[in-house]
C-alpha cells in the first residue's frame, strides 16, 4: 500500500540536523505531533497503547499530508481519569500544555510552517482544544498551528472501519481497549496483546453521557476492568482498516483547517 521507502525516514528523531535542515529547505515544512498516553487499557493490553498508536497515527497522517515529518510522540498525557488503575501516569493539564507549547516553539524556530497536533488518547482532546491560542502565540507569525480535537468524530471513524470489516462486531466499539483499539495493536505491537485475557467491558455507544461520566467520576466507576466496549473478535484486518480510516479522517480534517 505504501510506496515510501524505509529510509530516508520521516521520523525527526532519527534524522541528523543537516538532514532536517535539508528537508525543510526542500519544502518539508509540515510536522505532525501525536499526543498519547501511558495508561491502563484493560486486562489484555499494555499501558503504552496510546503512545504506540500515536507513533503509527502520526506517521500515517504525515504520509497522507505529504512532505511532512513526524515529531517524537508526547508519550504521557492527561490521564487523571485512569489513575485508579495501577501503572497509569498522568500529566497535569498545565504540564501537558507547557510541553505542547515548547514543542511548538522549538519546531517553529527551525522553519516548520505547519504544526499539526494529533491526540491518540481521549483525555488529550479537550486540553489541546483549549490551548490552541497559546500554541499559536508560541509558534509565532508565519507558522500555522492545526489540531484534531473531535473526540466523538475519532470514535466514529473507528465505528465506520469496524462496520466495513466485521459489521456484526460494530457494537463492540466503545472507545477504549475495545475491538478497534485492540485490533490496531495486533498490527502495531502484536506480541504485547494478551488475546486470551480479552473480556467485555462497559458496552455502550461512546456518547456525551459516557464521556461526562468517565471524565467526572473516573474510568473505574464505570468499568471495573478498564474497558469501554469489547475487544473479543479483534483481528489484524479490522486493525488495518481502523488505522487507515483514522489516518484518512484526521488528515482530511487537518487539511480542511488550512482552507
φ, ψ (nearest 5 deg) of residue 84 = -70, -10
Nearer to Zn ion, 111 or 205 (CB): 205
Burial of 215 (0-12, 13-18, 19+ CB in 10 A): middle
Phi-psi region of 76 (alpha: psi -120 to 50; beta: other; left: phi over 0): beta
Q: Give the shortest CB-36-to-Zn ion separation in angstroms.
A: 8
Q: Give the shortest CB-243-to-Zn ion separation in angstroms.
A: 13
Q: Give the shortest CB-239-to-Zn ion separation in angstroms.
A: 13
Q: Give the shortest CB-232-to-Zn ion separation in angstroms.
A: 17
Nearer to Zn ion, 49 or 227 (CB): 49
Which residue is closest to Zn ion by CB? 50
DSSP H/E element including 19: helix 17-25
Q: What is the number of residues in the chain?
A: 259
What character string, x for contact with Zn ion (CB under 5 A) and - otherwise, covers 36-75? -------------xx-------------------------
Nearer to Zn ion, 33 or 36 (CB): 36
Nearer to Zn ion, 50 or 60 (CB): 50
Grid coordinates given for 74: 508526547
State the CB neighbour count (10 A cutoff) for residue 142: 8
The CA-based dihedral angle spanning residues 152, 159, 117, 51, taken in that order and rounded to the nearest 10 degrees: 110
Q: Which residues bind Zn ion (CB under 5 A)?
A: 49-50
Amino acid at each position: 500500500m505504501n510506496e515510501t521507502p524505509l529510509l530516508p525516514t520521516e521520523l525527526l528523531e532519527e534524522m541528523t540536523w543537516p538532514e532536517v535542515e535539508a528537508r525543510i529547505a526542500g519544502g518539508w515544512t509540515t510536522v505532525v505531533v501525536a499526543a498519547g498516553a501511558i495508561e491502563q487499557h484493560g486486562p489484555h493490553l499494555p499501558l503504552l497503547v496510546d503512545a504506540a498508536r500515536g507513533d503509527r497515527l502520526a506517521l500515517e497522517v504525515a504520509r497522507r499530508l505529504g512532505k511532512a515529518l513526524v515529531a517524537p510522540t508526547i508519550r504521557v498525557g492527561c490521564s487523571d481519569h485512569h489513575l485508579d488503575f495501577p501503572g497509569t501516569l498522568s500529566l497535569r493539564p498545565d504540564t501537558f500544555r507547557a510541553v505542547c507549547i515548547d514543542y511548538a516553539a522549538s519546531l517553529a524556530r527551525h522553519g516548520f510552517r505547519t504544526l499539526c497536533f494529533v491526540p491518540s488518547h481521549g483525555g488529550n482532546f479537550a486540553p489541546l482544544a483549549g490551548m490552541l491560542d497559546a500554541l499559536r502565540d508560541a509558534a509565532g507569525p508565519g507558522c500555522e498551528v492545526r489540531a484534531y480535537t473531535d473526540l466523538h468524530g475519532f470514535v466514529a471513524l473507528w465505528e465506520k472501519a469496524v462496520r466495513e470489516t466485521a459489521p456484526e462486531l460494530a457494537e463492540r466499539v466503545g472507545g477504549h481497549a475495545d475491538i478497534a483499539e485492540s485490533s490496531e495493536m495486533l498490527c502495531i505491537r502484536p506480541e504485547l496483546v494478551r488475546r486470551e485475557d480479552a473480556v467485555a467491558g462497559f458496552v455502550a455507544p461512546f456518547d456525551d453521557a459516557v464521556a461526562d461520566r468517565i471524565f467526572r467520576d473516573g474510568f473505574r466507576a464505570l468499568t471495573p476492568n478498564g474497558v469501554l466496549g469489547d475487544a473479543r473478535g479483534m483481528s489484524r484486518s479490522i486493525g488495518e482498516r481502523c488505522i487507515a480510516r483514522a489516518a484518512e479522517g484526521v488528515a482530511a480534517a487537518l487539511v480542511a483547517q488550512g482552507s
